[in-house]
Amino acid sequence: MFTLSETSILAAILLVALGILGWGFYRARPFGKLGILAWLQSVVLMTPWLLFFGLFAAGIYINIAGILFLVVTSAGLYVYLGRQLRAAGQDAILKQRATERLAAASSLEANSPQPKVAELKPEIPPIPEEDLNAVKGIFGIDTFFATETIAYQDGAIFKGNLRGEPEETHNRLTASLQQRLGDQYRLFLVENTDGKPVVIVLPSRNDPRPMLLSQKAFAGILLIATIATSLEAAGLLLNFDFFGNPGRFQEALPIGAGIFTILVAHEIGHWLLARRHQIRLSWPFFLPAVQIGSFGAITRFESLLPNRKVLFDIALAGPAAGGIVSLLMLVTGLVLSGPGSLFQLPNQFFQGSILVGSLARVVLGSALQSSLVSVHPLVVIGWLGLVINALNLMPAGQLDGGRIIQAIYGRKTAGRATVATLILLALVSLGNTLAMYWAIVIFFLQRDQERPSLNEVTEPDDARAALGLLALFLMITTLLPLTPGLAGRLGIG
């Protein structure tokens, strides 16, 4: 049975979740059918969590197949409700708001016939006057009705009213700008601090620059170092120090090569989706780590992203590819495990991850009750790969998870998620050196958000949002350990 503390934790989780859903329903009721549909979307996303913890609190065990079924089902319902939400009039509301803004702007113009020239004189945009007039000429009553021009960096901000659907409007404005001024300027459609869309035009000389030769050389050095630490991690798993015994290279090679294969799969996933969207990526800067071979790699965008959907696709592709390869290795290793396998692991090993422990329980069954469990090397390699990909899915800065949060929920939410992740890592690092190392890496190298895409207003579709939440859910189940009481109920230990 659960201890009092474990029951309290589960009860607290359920109460917080129900409180959030109740507050959401209270906020949604005034908006009628649209509000209720939006609230139901949040319900279906939280349902797997509620069922998972609720049934465990009742003493009912759900294996990993059942958990994945719940998550996939909720994702499908989320997409369906999103379609119903749009069909119920979401687009009509956006058009209504645009009409209201147009009426307000027309009223303002009628009451203030004199242009506010005096207010603009102190902030003359650095764009040449001829180019500035050409830029102003791209705006229209059916795209973006510009009402104010403000100097910004090397370009200008145009405040006004968005008249059409954001993605179509951005495409039309961009095409018109290229027809008038070629490739000299970039047009960004972003949200202002007040939540209203604004247009920012900047010279193309501010585009991301390709890597320098010195940067490529540094990336190559880190690659070699990561190969070495992958072999060292393999040696440590085999109970010897590879750096002190390089002659045992043949012993460390299979496991080291397996770890490096997962790292390469992760980067290939990024590269394939970037190539599909015609986005240039920098060489990966691998982060060598003796404990697990590597913490992954830092990859920069060398092209401006057209929209948040592209940011999502490229960010998710890496952990998806690396995670699938890791999961296949783990499951294959569990199937091949048996008496005489290379590794003899204590059963506490499988308590370190909800995902790994659940899969092991499904495949190995009662074998996990033994003090030592014989496992195939692929189990260890797959587990390390899952950890590497899960670390990169943490919702912080320019990590893959941070980019996913930025793509789905926007820059403000991504910034808050980064702060929350760093605080959590700081607390965990009090008893875990791995968390401390990762917190330092994020704070000094990865805490900044990704630069805005050209169209920052259009959100990814519901299917992408559901996939992103599924990835974050699997990240948590990979990194979150089982409590001793829960592991005992599952027959682990």
SS3 readout for the chain: CCCHHHHHHHHHHHHHHHHHHHHHHHHHHHHHHHHHHHHHHHHHHHHHHHHHHHHHHCCCCCCHHHHHHHHHHHHHHHHHHHHHHHHHHHHHHHHHHHHHHHHHHHHHHHHCCCCCHHHHHHHCCCCCHHHHHHHHCCCCCCCEEEEEEEEECCEEEEEEEECCCHHHHHHHHHHHHHHHHCCCEEEEEEECCCCCEEEEEEEHHHCCCCCCHHHHHHHHHHHHHHHHHHHHHHHHHCCCCCCCCHHHHHHHHHHHHHHHHHHHHHHHHHHHHHHHCCCCECCCEEEEECCCEEEEEECCECCCCCEHHHHHHHHHHHHHHHHHHHHHHHHHHHHHCCCCCCEEEEHHHHHCCHHHHHHHHHHHHHHHHCCEEEECHHHHHHHHHHHHHHHHCCCCCCCHHHHHHHHHHCHHHHHHHHHHHHHHHHHHCCCCHHHHHHHHHHHHHHCCCCCCCCECCCCCCHHHHHHHHHHHHHHHHHHCCCCHHHHHHHCCC
Do residues 203 and 182 lie in contact, with contact meaning Cβ atoms separated by under 8 Å? no
* Residues of the chain below pLDDT 70: 1-21, 23-24, 27-28, 31, 34-35, 38-39, 41-42, 45-46, 48-50, 52-68, 71, 85-125, 445, 486-487, 490-491, 493
At the topology level, CATH places domain 129-206 in Gyrase A; domain 2 (3.30.1360)
Q: Which residues contact 107 (CB under 8 A, 6 or more apart)?
A: none
32-57 helix and 4-28 helix, angle to the nearest 10 degrees: 170
Q: What is the CA radius of gyration of the chain?
A: 26
Q: Say what the pLDDT of residue 43 is.
A: 73
Q: Say what the pLDDT of residue 359 is.
A: 84
| DSSP bridge pairs for 199 | 158, 189
Q: Say what the pLDDT of residue 188 is.
A: 92
CA distance 285 to 266: 13
Q: Say what the pLDDT of residue 90 is.
A: 47
In this predicted model, what pLDDT tens digit does every residue of 369-406 receive, in sequence order?
788 888 899 999 999 999 999 989 988 888 999 999 99
Distances in whole angstroms, Cα of residue 384 to Cα of each of 261, 317, 345, 347:
12, 19, 14, 17
249-276 helix and 308-336 helix, angle to the nearest 10 degrees: 150
Q: Say what the pLDDT of residue 382 is.
A: 93
459: nearest Cα among 412, 383, 408: 408
Q: Say what the pLDDT of residue 121 is.
A: 43
In this predicted model, what pLDDT tens digit does every residue of 426-467 receive, in sequence order?
888 777 777 777 777 777 767 788 888 999 888 888 778 888
Q: Which amino acid makes up residue 127?
A: I
Distances in whole angstroms, Cα of residue 492 to Cα of each of 1, 339, 341, 357:
14, 18, 19, 8
Q: Say what the pLDDT of residue 223 is.
A: 93
Phi-psi region of 483 (alpha: psi -120 to 50; beta: other; left: phi over 0): beta
CA distance 129 to 144: 20
